[in-house]
Each structure stands twice: as structure tokens, then as C-alpha cells.
Amino acid sequence: MRAFRAVAAALVSAVVLAGCGPSGTGGGDDTPPKGSPEPSASATADPGASPSPSGSSSASPTAGRLPAPGETLVRVTRTGGFAGQTHTLIVKGDGSWTRMDVKAKPTGTGKLSEAQLSGLRTALREADFARLPRIVTGGPTIYDGFSYAFVHDGHEVAGDQGSLPESLTKVLDALPRFTGDKDTP
């Protein structure tokens, strides 16, 4: 069941946000640069597949370089919880971020400080997305917990709250809040 929810979270992220800019219309400044893989291209791949250990065949064309200010640094979709809501955060290379609802409508924007952006980049680098499985499993079941789908540097990783490795938890901690509520990270 957890694996299904994780795959569903990844598909929701890919379907709702593929090609959508912050305005919710096609294109916008969230469109990947020419030659970059489409964000949803790996959503049709075998969900059990994991990147090759060498990283040579699965390395993205942007691996090892910082994204341009208008390019997406990371996109994280959170689904579930007691209310069963879906929220997405998109953080650009310059630290600007957009919070979106399930219909890809912006619900908030902001910009990370240089220190916050540096912390997020460090957490993303240490998470080593190229070596993480596409679907993280294991860990305890957290009833009414959240499922997350991460997209970073051409890699997609999905998992339930109780299954996330510490490296992905650090990424979540470095992100802005998923909602405007003060009590909900």
C-alpha cells in the first residue's frame, strides 16, 4: 500500500506539474531547458528500477553544475495527511520558491536567504539522488502520514514519511513550509 501511495504521489507530481510554470499555464519559466529530460519522462519507467551504481548512464545533463536562476533546483510534492491534501514546492536556482495546490495554482511565493539556499543545496548534494532508489520503502507505517515525491537534477524519488532516509528528511527540513499554516512544516 505504501509503495502504491508513493507511486501515486510521483505520478500526481508528474501529471499536474509537467510543463506548468508558476502561473499554472503551460510553459512559463519552469519549462526545462532544451536538451533537458522532461520532468515526467521517468514516471513511465519501471518504478522498481534504480539508477546504475556508476551513475554514468543515468546522470542528467545538468549533473555537477548549479541550475541557472530560472531553472528548477528541486520540486517536492507532499500528499496525504489527515486531510488528504496535496501541496507542491518548487525552488529555483536563485532561491525563489512557489507553493502550489493540487490544481497547480500558486498559493504562496518567497525567496530563501543565501544561508537557507546554501543549506538546501548542501542537503540535496548529500542526499545523492543518483544513488537513491526511485521508490523508498521500509520503515514504520505512519497512519495519516505524508507521501513525498522529490524531483532533483533529473532524478525522481518517492516515499512515505516513515520510509524516508535521513538525507531526504534533511532536504525537507531545508525547504519552506508546504502550507501557509504556522504549525505545519
Rounded Cα–Cα distance for residues 61 and 64 (Å): 9
Amino acid at 159: G
* Distance, CA of 180 to CA of 176 (rounded, Å): 10
User: Are 80 and 144 spatial neighbours (Cβ–Cβ below 8 Å)?
Assistant: yes
Predicted confidence (pLDDT) per residue in 12-65, tens digit: 444 333 444 433 333 334 443 434 333 333 333 333 343 333 333 344 444 555
CA-to-CA distance for 125 and 48, rounded, in angstroms? 23
What sign does the dihedral 72-87-134-142 (CA atoms) show? positive
Q: Give the model confidence (pLDDT) of 127-182 as tens digits.
A: 999 999 999 888 777 878 899 999 999 999 999 988 999 999 999 999 999 887 54
Q: Where are the domains of the chain?
A: 2-36+70-174
Claim: this prediction has a pTM higher than 0.75: no
